[in-house]
Structure 1
Amino acid sequence: MKQIGGGHETAPAFDAIQADVGKRLDDVAKILAGALVTVAGVITALGLTSDLVFVALNNDSWPIYVASLCAILAIVCSIVALLIHPTKRGNLWETVVLVVGVILYMVALSVAVVGAAKAAGGNGRPTISNVELEGPRSRLKLSFSVRADGVETWATVGVYVVAVDEKGNSLDGPSDLYASSLRPDDRGRIMQNVNMPVTAARDAWGLEIVAITAGGSDECEAKVVRGATCTTIQLP
């Protein structure tokens, strides 16, 4: 019902409008309440499994932390918005809170995509496994496996086998006993099984296998993200 002379809506009509605005804002708040679930869904859809999440956290993958924090703050904003009374001033404050919540929500989704892409790509560090020596010293055969995940398309992994003395120092020689430069497949993976004779290292104390990522450090004990992977095995 309207006033005859003033042209303004009565208090009940105004309250109805405020209530309707408040309801719409509450709907937005309820959407933000599922921010963490949505972010988790985006990460899962991009192929980031629970195992890779732990890998990302172990590697200090900051996007995962930031996405989770922003999603939690978006949920807090939604709860605060739902608790605000739908008055004229209340709707104003609810709008401000929800705008902040929406910004946090969008940041969480954006950073989640970056984090998922970074973690799903792995770290490119090679590993050496299944190291075995077989046969008498005069006819020794060395076998081992090299694996790396998340290697960038342009990168390579260099694999070397060198003869070493008791202190781990490389022995002088014309060349390495084995040297190989491996490139990743279309999925960024490197898997190589090596089986080689080691007759040229009869006077050595042992053999050292080194796998180095392109652009990484060649020092076995270096505390860097892309450090070399080294394995030493004593000759019989």
Structure 2
Amino acid sequence: MHRNALDLHHYERMMPPGGDQEPRTFDDVQAKVGKRLDDVAKILAGALVTVAGVMTALGLTSDVVFVALNNDSWPIFVAALSAILAIVCSIVALLIHPTRRGNVWETVVLGLGVIFYMTALSVAVVGAAQAASGNGRPTLLNVKLEGPASDRRLSFDVHADGVDRWASVNVYVTVIDAKMVDLPNMPDFYNVSLRPDDKGDIDHRASMSLSAPQNAWGVEIYASTAGGNEDCESRSPHGPTCALVQFS
């Protein structure tokens, strides 16, 4: 009787905490490990929703998404692709049978899924910040040249968003000849440097009287971020905006 009591005491010491609830066979152990891996896989299954939530929280609304995609915003494509790959890894992991070898493969697949998941989140932050903040390029709107030759009036609007607070947008109006070249020794008709508001936006309306000097074909309106590309034909996203208006 005493020996049986010692054996029972020894058995209880060898049992892990919560021994009555722990699996007692190798297959049970593998099944429990597989269940925990499946829980990770279910988390990765929501990668696309999580990435979309991060982008929305950073100000990437639906209308901005279409603009960003049209401008070939690569971070959005990379974030979406990485999120999809994370979901694929989670589905594959859930389909693996919880055996010893299966758990090893599931761990490898989930490792890849976590890498894709973290990549998607990281790139989503970059993409949302890039797309939602604009690029600071100014736009010329409502350009009009009205009135008779003796009393012409030029008017236009300048708009820009995503302008850095320390930056500015310079606007010039110059007279050009038929070869689209500035007339020599002719000062600018209009010259202004615009600063953005606290949101990084610029909205400016210009209106001025305009008399045509000799040999003048028209005027060129030039709006550019200070220090940016000055070529009107440049394909750079930070290039200037130009408008040509011919005298009638």
Q: TM-score, normalised by structure 1?
A: 0.90
Is 1:93 equivalent to 2:89 in the alignment?
Answer: no
Is 1:195 equivalent to 2:203 in the alignment?
Answer: no
Task: Supply the AA of the counterpart residue of 1:206.
Answer: G
Match of 1:23 in 2: 35
In 2: Cα distance, 1:208 partner to 1:174 partner: 13
Please say if residues 137 and 202 of structure 1, whose CA atoms lie closer than 8 Å, have aligned partners that are also in contact: no
- 104-113 vs 57-66, which deviates more? 57-66
In 2: Cα distance, 1:92 partner to 1:21 partner: 10
Is 1:153 equivalent to 2:162 in the alignment?
Answer: no
In 2: Cα distance, 1:214 partner to 1:71 partner: 38
Q: How far is 1:223 from its partner?
A: 2.4
Task: Supply the AA of the counterpart residue of 1:144.
Answer: F
Match of 2:80 among 68, 76, 82: 68
Structure 2 unaligned residues grouped into runs of 5+: 1-10
Is 1:112 equivalent to 2:124 in the alignment?
Answer: yes
Task: Supply the AA of the counterpart residue of 2:210.
Answer: V
Match of 1:224 among 225, 236, 241: 236
Match of 1:78 in 2: 90
Match of 1:36 among 48, 56, 59: 48
Cα RMSD (Å):
1.9
Please say if residues 175 and 186 of structure 2, whose CA atoms lie closer than 8 Å, have aligned partners that are also in contact: no
Match of 2:136 in 1: 124
3-state secondary structure, aligned to 2:158: strand
In 2: Cα distance, 1:110 partner to 1:205 partner: 52
- 56-65 vs 87-96, which deviates more? 56-65
3-state secondary structure, aligned to 1:133: strand
Please say if residues 131 and 144 of structure 1, whose CA atoms lie closer than 8 Å, have aligned partners that are also in contact: yes
In 2: Cα distance, 1:52 partner to 1:98 partner: 33
In 2: Cα distance, 1:17 partner to 1:219 partner: 68
Offset from partner CA, 1:35-67 (integer Å, 9 cap, x none): 111111111121101222222223232211211
Structure 1 unaligned residues grouped into runs of 5+: none
In 2: Cα distance, 1:173 partner to 1:140 partner: 22
Match of 1:177 among 173, 177, 189: 189
Between Structure 1 and Structure 2, whose CA radius of gyration is higher? 2
In 2: Cα distance, 1:93 partner to 1:164 partner: 71
3-state secondary structure, aligned to 2:25: helix
Q: TM-score, normalised by structure 2?
A: 0.86
Is 1:168 equivalent to 2:175 in the alignment?
Answer: no
Q: Percent identity?
A: 66
- 58-67 vs 184-193, which deviates more? 58-67
3-state secondary structure, aligned to 1:172: coil
